[in-house]
């Protein structure tokens, strides 16, 4: 399967010296005429709906005033420039691990540094890459493109048919999820004049052959679902208008998404349409040569991982019991495609891997005739290689460094060697080449970014309200005194099957680099609460919908454990989360404000009675519930932060950050919550980046700036 297709499959799993100085207040937003929203049949006044007008003049005036006030508090701190320069130096370092995608005998990399702020797509040979000191050839310079075209282009990846030397390049204006698609000639390194081009939209594309694309995009208002994603998948022939592309599938407007998947391998090509009613269920339809589709009889909550010849490889979210067989949830299985088409999967269904009680599958990579499975075992990484035998699959564990995170970074269906990275909280990233015979060769090791000799990482456990043990990692100074006074940052995510795994000075994803925090005497805690994927599908499913409070209770249990064990106290304890983790932070603010003196609430979901009406929100109903159903609106109301705000007497001064250009999680969530806090007389800081999309930043300079806002805020609140 093409790399881009695998990324789309992964999408379905798709998805911060003046501490005591009082902040300058701005005029409280005047509730405009009592606007009203309708939720689950009840009429509820919401005076801040006007802040959902993303580019509205009044809303942006409010945003700019809050930005100025927040910068006056944080950017004027004498530590700000130091933290920003430190972060920017790390992000712009030329000795970073160079991760790349493999395509046959070539490695393709997207690189950003101080010179290439927007980035450059470049390539080299596999052997040169494996040497650790490759010479790179530029394929596309996005900085030069943006300057030449006068556009704020942010590179969002590419979908390629390398046998034809063509790619569809995804370009976003300012960092949104919406992209322009443009055909690119890799050999001649230029966009194809008169080639395939699709205007700005949330869209997905795969090559069926050199002259045909499978595309899911908008063809008018009736072709967009309630999540803002395309409902239709079409076949688009070269030389024909996009509007004339042949419709092969249309899903209902309530689906989360529909998109095309094409696996091009030397041992076979398979094209499918994936229909996703929600993030955790899917129906796969095989595209036949006559343009018709055949539904494959797989469990609805299966996750397609790829193909090997005529074998379909998938992972299971629930038990599958075809015939007399039983394949447990969390397993990786293989089945012949022809048996699926015939409706008899049990004829060839085999277990590639079945998890134990403390393990879960993080990723599945299909090479030429090996399947590499990256596992979490008690939230640390292991790597298995599966080979086909006459009776099934044989598993071999690859000897890799321990007590950290492992990620398969590059593979190709023409070879069995793969490139794998390792890192931990205190050990820099290293890149290895795992050879076909199991030999592990070091390719590149990241130099240390700070002196970690004085620190130690421990895994501890808190006990939640239902007596479940919740693991968390503690990164602390070796000589730390448990006197209850340590400035401590607690991070968690807890949703969408996503695991929070050890990363060098990073909690996860786009959260800030924590080097400055640790060097200043801070302590870092990362909690593996339910809702994530740390212990497989059941760990995630335990916190869905009406059980969402479970994730919040787990977070509270870890926070209380940090206090009870003498590490810190509420005056020195802060919490941080973004996106779904921003919802988690909103729950901490409204449920246990006395536990924290600082909370960073990043690109958050907060108004959970309206989230499904804003941008991509409707695609997350399987995670949170449907506010339009009275019985589900009831349990959502029990914990929705926007509705719960004001029930406690005192709140810490929190930091909200968001992005005007975020077209996934609506910035109105954070705006409205902040406005509600001011109405009730509570202090807060709010900063909204005008660019950056859901990541919150569109280039490395912006990322370092956003890092610094969060770190300095935490220093002011927890250290000063």
Known catalytic residues are: 579, 694
C-alpha dihedral, 29 to 31 to 33 to 38, nearest 10°: 130
- Cβ atoms of 433 and 367 closer than 8 Å: no
> Assign residue 481 a region: left if phi > 0, alpha if psi is -120 to 50, beta otherwise?
beta
Instruction: Map tokens 């800081």 to a residue.
Output: 685
Give all strands of the β-sheet with 393-398 in edge-to-edge order: 359-366, 370-377, 380-388, 393-398
Q: How far apart are CA 85 and CA 77, in angstroms?
A: 14
Distance of CA 670 to the CA centre of its chain: 19
DSSP classification of residue 164? T
Q: How far apart are CA 314 and CA 333, in angstroms?
A: 6
Residue 705 makes CB contacts below 8 A (sequence gap 6+) with 84, 697
Helix 549-564 to helix 580-591 angle (10° resolution) is 60
b/e map 579-598, b = 16+ CB within 10 Å: bbbbbbbbbbbbbbbebbbb
Q: How far apart are CA 257 and CA 139, in angstroms?
A: 32
Beta-strand ranges (E) seen in 112-203 are 120-125, 137-141, 153-161, 166-173, 179-185, 190-191, 197-201
Q: Comparing C-alpha atoms, which of 653, 462, 632 is closest to residue 548?
A: 632
Distance of CA 140 to the CA centre of its chain: 25
Name the token pair of 311: 């074998």
Q: How far apart are CA 657 and CA 3, in angstroms?
A: 32
Helix (H) or strand (E) holding 259: strand 257-265
Exposed/middle/buried for 526, CB within 10 Å: 0-12, 13-18, 19+?
buried
Q: How far apart are CA 643 and CA 213, in angstroms?
A: 46
Radius of gyration of the chain (CA): 25
Write 62-66 long-range contacts (CB < 8 A, 24+).
62/26, 62/29, 62/671, 62/675, 63/660, 63/671, 63/686, 63/688, 65/26, 65/27, 66/26, 66/674, 66/685, 66/686, 66/687, 66/688
Planar angle of CA 517, 518, 524, nearest 5 degrees: 90
Instruction: Map tokens 């939230």 to a residue.
Output: 379
Name the token pair of 27: 């005029």
Q: Comparing C-alpha atoms, which of 551, 549, 556, 550 is closest to residue 570?
A: 556
> Assign residue 104 a region: left if phi > 0, alpha if psi is -120 to 50, beta otherwise?
left
Q: Comparing C-alpha atoms, which of 627, 617, 624 is closest to residue 662?
A: 617
- Cβ atoms of 134 and 112 closer than 8 Å: no
- Cβ atoms of 90 and 84 closer than 8 Å: no
- Cβ atoms of 307 and 270 closer than 8 Å: yes
């Amino acid at each position: 399967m093409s790399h881009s297709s695998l990324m789309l499959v992964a999408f379905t799993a798709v998805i911060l010296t003046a501490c005591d100085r009082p902040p300058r207040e701005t005029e409280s937003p005047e509730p405009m005429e009592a606007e009203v929203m309708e939720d689950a049949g009840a009429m509820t006044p919401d005076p801040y709906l006007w802040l959902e007008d993303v580019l509205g003049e009044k809303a942006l005036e409010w945003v700019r005033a809050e930005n100025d006030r927040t910068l006056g508090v944080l950017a004027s701190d004498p530590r700000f420039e130091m933290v920003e320069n430190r972060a920017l130096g790390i992000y712009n370092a030329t000795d970073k691990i160079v991760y790349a995608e493999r395509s046959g005998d070539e490695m393709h990399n997207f690189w950003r540094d101080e010179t290439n702020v927007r980035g450059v797509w470049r390539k080299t040979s596999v052997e040169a890459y494996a040497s650790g000191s490759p010479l790179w050839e530029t394929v596309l310079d996005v900085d030069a493109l943006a300057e030449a075209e006068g556009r704020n282009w942010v590179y969002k990846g590419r979908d390629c048919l390398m046998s034809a030397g063509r790619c569809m390049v995804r370009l976003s204006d300012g960092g949104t999820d919406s992209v322009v698609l443009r055909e690119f000639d890799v050999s001649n390194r230029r966009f194809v004049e008169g080639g395939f081009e699709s205007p700005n939209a949330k869209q997905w594309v795969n090559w069926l052959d050199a002259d045909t694309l499978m595309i899911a995009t908008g063809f008018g208002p009736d072709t967009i679902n309630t999540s803002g994603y395309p409902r239709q998948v079409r076949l688009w022939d070269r030389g024909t208008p996009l509007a004339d592309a042949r419709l092969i599938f249309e899903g209902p407007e309530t689906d989360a998404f529909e998109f095309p998947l094409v696996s091009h391998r030397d041992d076979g090509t398979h094209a499918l349409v994936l229909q996703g009613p929600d993030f955790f269920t899917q129906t796969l339809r095989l595209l036949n040569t006559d343009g018709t589709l055949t539904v494959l009889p797989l469990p609805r909550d299966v996750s397609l991982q790829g193909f090997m010849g005529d074998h379909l490889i998938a992972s299971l979210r629930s038990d599958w019991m075809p015939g007399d067989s039983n394949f447990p949830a969390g397993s990786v299985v293989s089945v012949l495609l022809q048996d699926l088409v015939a409706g008899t999967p049990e004829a060839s269904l085999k277990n590639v891997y079945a998890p134990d009680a403390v393990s879960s599958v993080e990723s599945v990579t299909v090479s030429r005739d090996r399947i590499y499975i990256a596992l979490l075992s008690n939230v640390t990484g292991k790597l298995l290689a599966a080979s086909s035998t006459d009776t099934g699959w044989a598993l071999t564990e690859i000897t890799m460094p321990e007590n950290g995170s492992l990620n398969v970074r590059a593979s190709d269906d023409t070879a069995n060697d793969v490139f794998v990275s390792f890192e931990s909280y205190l050990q820099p990233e290293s890149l290895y080449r795992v050879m076909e015979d199991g030999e592990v060769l070091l390719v590149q090791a990241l130099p240390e970014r700070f002196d970690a000799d004085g620190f130690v990482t421990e895994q501890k456990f808190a006990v939640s309200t239902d007596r479940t043990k919740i693991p968390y990692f503690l990164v602390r100074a070796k000589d730390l005194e448990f006197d209850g006074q340590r400035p401590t940052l607690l991070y968690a995510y807890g949703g969408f099957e996503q695991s929070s795994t050890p990363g060098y000075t990073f909690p996860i994803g786009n959260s800030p680099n924590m080097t400055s925090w640790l060097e200043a005497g801070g302590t870092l805690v990362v909690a593996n609460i339910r809702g994530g994927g740390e212990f497989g599908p059941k760990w995630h499913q335990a916190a869905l919908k009406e059980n969402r409070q479970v994730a919040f209770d787990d977070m509270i249990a870890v926070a209380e454990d940090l206090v009870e064990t003498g590490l810190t106290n509420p005056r020195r304890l802060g919490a941080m989360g973004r996106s779904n983790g921003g919802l988690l932070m909103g729950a901490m603010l409204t449920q246990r404000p006395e536990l924290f003196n600082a909370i960073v609430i990043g690109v958050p979901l907060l108004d959970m009675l309206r989230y499904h009406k804003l941008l991509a929100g409707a695609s997350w109903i399987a995670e949170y519930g449907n506010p339009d159903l009275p019985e589900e609106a009831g349990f959502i109301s029990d914990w929705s932060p926007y509705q719960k705000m004001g029930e406690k007497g005192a709140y810490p001064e929190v930091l909200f950050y968001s992005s005007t250009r975020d077209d996934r999680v609506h910035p109105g969530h954070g705006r409205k919550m902040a406005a509600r806090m001011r109405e009730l007389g509570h202090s807060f800081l709010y900063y909204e980046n005008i660019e950056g999309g859901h990541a919150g930043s569109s280039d490395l300079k912006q990322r370092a700036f956003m890092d610094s806002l969060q770190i300095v805020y935490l220093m002011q609140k927890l250290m000063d």
